Amino acid sequence: MTEDNSEQRLNDSLRVVTSGDIEVSTYLEIAKEMGGEQPVAAEEAISKAKREAIIVIDFGSQYSMLIARRVRECQVYCEIVPHDTPWEKIAPLNPKGFILSGGPASAYDAEAPLAPDYIYESHLPVLGICYGMQVITKQLGGKVSPGIKNEYGSAILHLSDVDSPLFTDFPSSSSVWMSHGDKVEEVPPSFTSLAYTENSPIAVIGNKNGMYGIQFHPEVAHTPEGKTILKNFVYKICGCQGNWTIGNFIAESTASIKKQVGTGKVINALSGGVDSSVVASIIHRAIGNQLTCIFVNHGLLRREEVERTFNVFRLNLGMNIIYVDASERFLKRLQGVTDPEEKRKIIGEEFIRIFEEEANKLGKVDFLAQGTLYPDVIESASTGSKASVKIKSHHNVGGLPSKMTLSLLEPLRNLFKDEVRQVGLALGLPEEMVWRQPFPGPV
């Protein structure tokens, strides 16, 4: 498949997928219970070339990741940050605009999370979605109050101002998805009402400075024209150029890996799954034989999994692969064990022991490659945010002995799962490997 086709599939994708594949990293995660020193996070190299981003300010919405995906489908890079993130962490991304997410709070409550001052002081465009619209209203002098009737489900949106740039190519009436109990009762000074529904007389607000609020959710499939609004916001209002493409990502990542690794050596736990396969491919593209993959057969692989993986990576791509057939060792330890969690721990412990044994044979190693994805990063970052409910802490790798103090190399940490698949296709991996479904296991 050509790179252009890969990018087109990415842009048209409606999939919402997270990092659920049972990769080697899943088993490495268990090793955190075995003690030892964690790898040292290496400084992330950030490309300055044509950098632009839309920042989603997260107030605890279940749809925040979906908002980011929809923006990226417009070929504009998007990151999610907790609502209390300082400006110093956002400025290097060169933000072109902000999207304030929904959330479970009520903007009029004393403890309600609000947008940081820089959202308004930066004079960048802002789009508030649901609770985000109410936050704008509250902070800029309008009034938010409890609604007489909760609105959950489809509603018909009618435009009051068809000339707003937010509504370019948007029909005068369209179905949208509502999910709210509070309402905007009075718009802030300088704002006007731009659209309404039967239950929400003020469903969209805006001003002349590129600040908008919408009560519905444009990111969900139940709002058929929602992507039009997001596209208008990032292009017509924020002025983005649209340079977030698979080709650009591969080029920037290759250069970044070369710079970060230098003359060092990298090891990668290869499983044949999509995450570790794409990690191996993009790192090998950057540094060639400085990468060594360790492929452990734990006896739980699919039929002919070993042969297929070897054919792709060693025979076709010429990678250095250390193959360890430890199937009897794993199966012996699993014999008689029926509890899934106990199986998971046994596999994790045994895997890390074998990985350690093989890595020690290589001599000095500088980096450990991991298939960390963006949902892992988001879920971990939510730990310190009062607005977000922590889903899980991310321990992709843990329990490595202190003598294996390695820097982490995580080339996919800014990608969603479906973006990883498109990178794999663009790098020439077989479709059956890129689109393979996770193999059931003790997770």
Q: Are residues 161 and 188 in the same domain?
A: yes
In angstroms, what is the C-alpha Rg of the chain? 24
Structural domain includes residue 442: no
Q: How far apart are CA 227 and CA 180, in angstroms?
A: 20
Q: Are residues 229 and 122 in the same domain?
A: yes
Total domains, the chain: 2
The alpha carbon dihedral of 398, 402, 404, 405 has a sign of: positive
Angle at which helix 3-12 crosses helix 417-426, to 10 degrees, equals 170
Which of 219, 379, 410, 419 is labelled catalytic?
219
Which of 83, 217, 284, 394 is labelled catalytic?
217
Q: Are residues 211 and 271 in the same domain?
A: no
Examine the residue annotation and report whether 130 is marked as an active-site residue of this protein: yes
CATH of the domain at 157: 3.40.50.880
Q: Are residues 30 and 152 in the same domain?
A: no
Q: Residues 253, 255, 261, CA angle at the centre, nearest 5°?
A: 95
Cβ proximity of 60 and 135 under 8 Å: no
pLDDT at 381 (0 to 100):
58
Structural domain includes residue 224: yes
Q: Are residues 259 and 372 in the same domain?
A: yes
Q: Are residues 26 and 71 in the same domain?
A: no
Structural domain includes residue 251: yes
CB atoms within 10 A of CB 263: 7
Domain's final residue, options 237, 264, 293: 237
Q: Are residues 101 and 163 in the same domain?
A: yes
pLDDT at 380 (0 to 100):
62
Q: How far apart are CA 135 and CA 167, in angstroms?
A: 22
Q: Are residues 251 and 227 in the same domain?
A: no
Domain's final residue, options 205, 237, 269: 237
pLDDT tens-digit readout, 186-241: 999 999 999 999 889 999 999 999 999 999 999 999 999 999 999 999 999 999 99
Structural domain includes residue 169: yes
On average, the pLDDT of the chain sits at 82
Domain's final residue, options 217, 237, 257: 237
CB atoms within 10 A of CB 315: 10
pLDDT at 21 (0 to 100):
37
Could you tell me which of 232, 197, 188 has the C-alpha nearest to residue 215? 197
Phi-psi region of 59 (alpha: psi -120 to 50; beta: other; left: phi over 0): alpha
pLDDT tens-digit readout, 239-275: 999 999 999 999 999 999 999 999 999 999 887 788 9
pLDDT at 207 (0 to 100):
96
Confidence of residue 424 (pLDDT cuts 50, 70, 90): very high
Q: How far apart are CA 375 and CA 413, in angstroms?
A: 8
Phi-psi region of 394 (alpha: psi -120 to 50; beta: other; left: phi over 0): beta
What range defines the domain where residue 25 resides? 3-45+245-434
Examine the residue annotation and report whether 78 is marked as an active-site residue of this protein: no
Structural domain includes residue 173: yes
Structural domain includes residue 440: no
How far, in Å, are 251, 322, 350 from residue 326 at the CA level? 37, 12, 9
CATH of the domain at 286: 3.40.50.620
Examine the residue annotation and report whether 238 is marked as an active-site residue of this protein: no
pLDDT at 438 (0 to 100):
62
Q: Are residues 36 and 91 in the same domain?
A: no
Q: Are residues 200 and 282 in the same domain?
A: no
Structural domain includes residue 443: no
Q: Are residues 57 and 41 in the same domain?
A: no
pLDDT tens-digit readout, 92-119: 999 999 999 999 999 999 999 999 999 9
Q: Is 56 helix (H, G, I), strand (E, B) or coil?
A: strand
pLDDT at 335 (0 to 100):
92
272's tokens: 């044949």
How far, in Å, are 7, 72, 235, 248 from residue 245 at the CA level? 7, 9, 15, 5
Q: Is 243 helix (H, G, I), strand (E, B) or coil?
A: coil
pLDDT tens-digit readout, 349-377: 888 788 778 888 888 888 888 888 888 77
Q: Which residue has the tokens 């992330």?
A: 44
Q: Are residues 233 and 252 in the same domain?
A: no
Structural domain includes residue 439: no
Which of 74, 78, 130, 240 is labelled catalytic?
130
